[in-house]
Structure 1
Amino acid sequence: IGPLAMVAQQAGYTVSGSDKQDSQYIDYLKKHGVTNIHIGQSSEALAKVHDTTPIDWYVYSSAVEKENADAPELVFVRNQDIKHSKRDELLNQIIQDKKLQMIAIAGTHGKTTTTALTVWLLSQLKTPLSYILPAKTSFAEMGHFDPASKLFIYECDEFDRNFLAYQPHLSLITGVSWDHHEIFPTREDYQEAFKEFISQSDRTILWQEDYDYLGMTSTSKLDVLESDHPTVEEVTLAGRYTRLDAWLVIQGVHELTKTPLKELVKIASDFPGLQRRMEQIVSNLYSDYAHTPEKIRGCMSVATEMASDKKQNVVVVYEPLTNRRQHYMADDYGDCFAGASKVYWIPSYLAREDPKQRIIPPSELITHLSDPSIAVAMERDGELKKTIQEHLDKGDMVVGMAGGGGDSLDEWLRKEFS
């Protein structure tokens, strides 16, 4: 929602906001012109803002309502009869007001990398562009509005069915496998949501595997790609799944700009990457956002290729994202860590949990691996730090995989090793 604040301000809106706690993202927003930010969320603080500059529209993240439907700020705007909504309604308003066409990236995994690749390719082609990026990169801000742009690049997340609020000009589907089980109780619910999203898009590019998984029917609105197309391997990025993401983007950008495929392959191969996607923290220590079996396989494909070049062992420290997910996907872990010499499995990062569900310990989750002998249950403590350091001293590649935010494994690794 922070990048949306940047886009709104650059598009001409007057923006203020709040967060429960200070963070590097608050500093980032302030450095980029969104300075009226209050730390702490109370009706009194919001009332002071409203008295100074009357609020026309209060936009809140999905987490606010889920954590507390009667959060003080929500109660205040209801009582004051102030328009309030989640981010999708404001973004749709900006797109409508500025006459933009949305290029949407949707899917269970690979969305953020694919969104960043789309911004990268179009930027390198000097295409005027507006976008929201959900991760930091070296080549683009997290939110940007260009008055000359006709396109808006956006990662359309299926969580809370948010992506169904949009009618994209072009949608790129990165891959589909059942997730967000608290929102989609059955696999069929999840599939139907994606089919509805695709039906709302003017054009969609997706993989044959997902076309089959969703039970789609061929129409002129669909472009179905084969994952074994030989040109995929002409992209020189590390990791099979990253190359597939790049090929998907290449097809989309080719459709938008008619730039020759060979030129786009060359540009895509120079993609510099993004934060928390095999991001190096110190020598041989990496952090990745992988937190589902599919994402883990994608990360392992990158890690094993990189390690092979240096003849290194790959060691994984894994922190699952949410306990509730584990109740649904434990059986899917299987061989997802194939290529790792060791996996240190720590307790799940807890967020928006169902209090009725028991907490599944790492030792039990490990039994769902095809080869449980490669994994050890550990805690995030001094002993883990010592173990990681021993592997680094031996020259091993250590990859921390975690999807959480504040106080996650990612944050801990940066604090302990940077």
Structure 2
Amino acid sequence: MAVSIDDRITNLNNRRKGLDRLGDLSFADRETVLAKSLTEEKWQKRQQGNKHTRYALGAMQPVGSEYTEITIDTAERVGKQLENRLAQITEFRLQGSVPLNVHIRGVSDVDLLVIDTCLFRYDPNGCLAHTYAPATRGRLDVLQELRRDCEAELKAAYPAVTVDCSGGKAVAMHGGSLPRPVDVVPSVWYNTADYQASSQEFDRGVVILDKHVPTDFENQPFLHIKKIDEADMVAGGGLKKAIRLVKNVKSDSDRAVVKKISSFDLASLMYHSNLNALSLGRFYELAVLAEVRRFLDWVYHHEVEARCLYTPDGSRVVLDTAEKFEAIRNMSYEIDELAKQIAKEQNLLVNDSEWNAMTKVLNETALPNP
């Protein structure tokens, strides 16, 4: 890890408290974030003599609930404005790392799905497909109109906010009266075959516009959230800790190739780690790191099998490009070095060339938790 551990701890603190994104905030919101940042979090008071251990502990923790609540409230405010302004009948949902609670920033952007309900796509093989009436308008036309209207109404509603319409999938908003950045994503519903059978919203997908092509594509963000939530319960909270850990290590890495894999793909890959091993983290916190290291090492050495791992929603394989596999290979190096340094902090006599001995230290060290 070429980036020093002191710099990593500083970066981690800045991310968690929103200090890394002060430029995206108004003066008043900046002052609020700065005032909150003076309060130390619990992880910052632990393992004072063991910096690598302290970093790992902090990297696994959820962002403070007070920061997350503001993020969600901001998205809901934007949704309410659009609901009052748009001619279309729309529904609103959140997707991504914030509703899943694996975001790693105090000032985190949040995806707000704006869903036009005038039509939907459906799987023709579903049990209700024969009951659906044909749409009177083209799906792409509906999405393009919704995108244009969202852009116009957001600019009118938030004149002091930076409304960036250059993105293909989302209208990005930050600054002005918004205490948090919001990405507005125009979409329509997708009634999958599973949804037609279950009527459960987690089985329902959305169709999202990419205006640059233009084209649309299907996504199942609610099934992704449900699958990871369920796996995390089995892991006693360890899966989400593992996801936050690898996302923070990615953010702090100076290896450009590590940045080439998305947070969604990192979460999807960690979904396939050993949940029983992660559950040891309820008693031995560093066991989460031990399993992350083992799993990424397995991915590195079993490329053919690793390339067959699917996203939690079953839509595609996770490592579907050579670039992503190379990113994970380098992520494995980063995690190896972190695990090695922590094992040595916890046991000065450990042989740092013997992974079995270091793993034993990580899996069996009970850290004081004042």
TM-score normalised to structure 2 length: 0.30
TM-score normalised to structure 1 length: 0.28
**Structure 1 or 2: more helix by fraction:** 2
Which structure has more RCO (C-alpha within 8 Å, separation ≥ 6)?
2
